[in-house]
Amino acid sequence: MPKLILIRHCTPKTPKGDIFLGQVDVPLSAAGVKEAKHLKAWLDKEKIGACFTSTLLRARTTAEIITEGHKVKTIPCDELKECSFGVIEGLTYQEIEKRYPKVAKGLADGTLATFPGGENLKQLNERVKLFLKRLDVLKPGDTALIVTHGGPLRLLVCYLLGIDAKHWQQIRIDRASLSIVETYPQMAYLTLLNDTSHLK
C-alpha cells in the first residue's frame, strides 16, 4: 500500500523572529532553502509518485526544491494550509501575552480551542479529513510526499494511526523534519517521526 512521507516546511523568512504565522504567506529564509536542499538529498533515493503541498509559499517552495529531479507533479491543496490564527497571526508569544492574555494562557496550557478571528480545531479537523480523500488516487506501492505545516501534520498522524485528535498537540513535528507512515488496508504503521538527521 502507499507510503506517505510527511514533511513540515523549512524555516521561513519572518519580519521579527519566531512568530505565530498561521496563514501569513512568507517565503523561505536562506537557511530554509539550505534545509530544503538537505531534504532533497535525503529524498533522492526515493521513487516519488505524487506530491501534495499546502498552497502557502513556505510549503510550496519547500515542495518545489525537494521534488527537483523527480518526474512528479506537485498538487497544491488549500486543505493543507496551516490553521488560521486570526488576531494573533504575525505576533510573537510575548506580544500575545500583552495584547491577548487570555489567548496566551490558552496557548500555554493547551486549552485554546478557537483562535479569535481565525479557525477552531473542528474547522482544521474538517479540512484535514477532506484532504485525506485525495489519497484515494494512490496505488499500492506508491510513495507520496505531503508537504505542509505543523497543525495539519499532527492531525494527519492522528487520523492515519487511529489516535484521538485531542492528542494532536502531543506530537512533535519540527520544521524541515520528515516522518513516514506506511499504510495498509487494515492499519497504518508509523516508521519514522520528526527526523531531522539530514540537517546535520
Burial 131-143, CB ≥16 within 10 A → b, else e: beebbeebeeebb
How far apart are alpha carbons 77 and 72 in whole angstroms? 15
Instruction: Give residue 93's Cα distance to chain centre.
Output: 20
Q: What is the residue-averaged pLDDT of the chain?
A: 94
Predicted model pTM: 0.95
Please report whether residue 166 resides in a domain.
yes
Handedness of CA 162, 72, 64, 192 (dihedral sign): positive
Grid coordinates 490553521 are at which residue? 83
Please report whether residue 177 resides in a domain.
yes
Please report whether residue 181 resides in a domain.
yes
Q: What is the mean pLDDT of residues 47-68?
A: 97
Please report whether residue 188 resides in a domain.
yes
Asked whether the predicted pLDDT for residue 16 surpasses 90, the reply is no
Number of domains in the chain: 1
Query: Greatest CA separation found in the chain?
Result: 51
How far apart are alpha carbons 179 and 140 in whole angstroms? 19
CATH code assigned at 47: 3.40.50.1240
Reported as a single tens digit per residue, the pLDDT across 144-199 is 999 999 999 999 999 999 999 888 889 999 999 999 999 988 899 999 999 999 99
Of residues 95 and 1, more confidence is placed in: 95
Comparing 10-19, 24-33, 45-54, the range with the smallest average pLDDT is 10-19
Residue range(s) defining the domain that contains residue 75 = 3-13+28-86+119-199
Q: Report residue 37 as a C-alpha cell.
A: 536542499
